[in-house]
């Protein structure tokens, strides 16, 4: 019974967002919005982790890098005196450079950006919420900020589709790609491998943007008691600006 009720709610969310926001009071609760954003942040970080693993698996070359165990050259040039009975030039017998697996370096670089990717949705969420709230109030809406923030969080749901499409496309391409030759050519090889995905992912991105417009319009219309055309403008302006900035980035 619970599963059937959940299915009806999901179908209502997809088919009629206005009815969903009108009949599901929990949808405009801040705690629910936080859960939605948290789920997306976890999915985003997990997806990038998986992408790093896929990229690392396509690279079997090594890269010459500075040896982190060797002190700087100014220490090893023989002009630095001993201080406190301990020689600064300890480790100068280590080689200046070492060979490292390119895939391991990619994996490390991916891990470094994961915290920022996880925090990113929580930074963007209040920015979107404030933008929608100010726009709704300028249009004589009467909803509260907490409700608006909760509605803004639901805009992350279509992003799951973009994320899934991107992962499927990347897995398909990278599963058929092996990087060869000098490491310096890898960025060009990756760009060539991803070129066929540009058009399909653009279509998916436009569809996601359209769904976000419909979804957020319904939420703002309901919680601020605005007409649909007015709510569509309130939502459409920041979405159009955001979509343009994304396209130019």
Domain count, the chain: 1
In a domain, 106, yes or no: yes
In a domain, 11, yes or no: no
In a domain, 3, yes or no: no
Q: What is the pLDDT of residues 104-115, one digit of tens each?
A: 888 888 888 999
In a domain, 25, yes or no: yes
In a domain, 220, yes or no: yes
In a domain, 69, yes or no: no
Q: What is the pLDDT of residues 76-135, one digit of tens each?
A: 765 555 544 445 556 677 777 777 777 788 888 888 899 999 999 999 999 999 999 999
In a domain, 141, yes or no: yes
Which pair of structure tokens corresponds to residue 120? 């990113």
Q: What is the pLDDT of residues 169-188, one digit of tens each?
A: 988 888 787 777 777 777 78
In a domain, 70, yes or no: no
DSSP H stretches of helix in the chain: 2-15, 17-23, 30-57, 73-76, 102-138, 145-154, 157-174, 186-194, 198-223, 228-248
- The pLDDT assigned to 85 comes to 42
Q: What is the pLDDT of residues 18-73, one digit of tens each?
A: 989 988 888 899 999 999 999 999 999 999 998 888 888 777 777 777 777 777 77
Domain around 230: 16-63+101-248
């Amino acid at each position: 019974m619970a599963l059937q009720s959940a299915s009806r709610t999901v179908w209502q969310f997809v088919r009629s967002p206005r009815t969903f926001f009108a009949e599901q009071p929990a949808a405009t609760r801040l705690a629910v919005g936080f859960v939605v954003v948290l789920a997306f942040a976890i999915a985003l970080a997990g997806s990038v982790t998986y992408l790093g693993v896929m990229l690392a698996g396509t690279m079997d070359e090594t890269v010459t890098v500075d040896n982190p165990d060797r002190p700087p050259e100014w220490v090893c040039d023989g002009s630095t005196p001993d201080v406190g009975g301990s020689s600064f030039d300890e480790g100068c017998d280590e080689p200046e450079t070492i060979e490292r697996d390119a895939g391991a370096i990619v994996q490390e670089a991916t891990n470094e950006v994961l915290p920022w990717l996880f925090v990113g949705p929580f930074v963007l969420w209040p920015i979107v919420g404030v933008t929608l709230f100010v726009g709704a109030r300028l249009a004589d809406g009467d909803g509260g900020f907490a409700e608006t923030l909760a509605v803004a969080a639901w805009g992350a749901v279509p992003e799951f589709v973009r994320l899934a499409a991107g992962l499927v496309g990347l897995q398909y391409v990278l599963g058929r790609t092996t990087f060869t030759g000098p490491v310096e050519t890898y960025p060009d090889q990756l760009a060539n491998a991803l070129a066929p995905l540009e058009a399909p992912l653009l279509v998916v991105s436009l569809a996601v943007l359209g769904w976000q417009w419909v979804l957020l319009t319904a939420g703002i219309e309901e919680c601020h008691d605005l007409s649909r055309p007015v709510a569509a403008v309130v939502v459409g302006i920041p979405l159009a600006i955001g979509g343009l900035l994304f396209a130019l980035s």
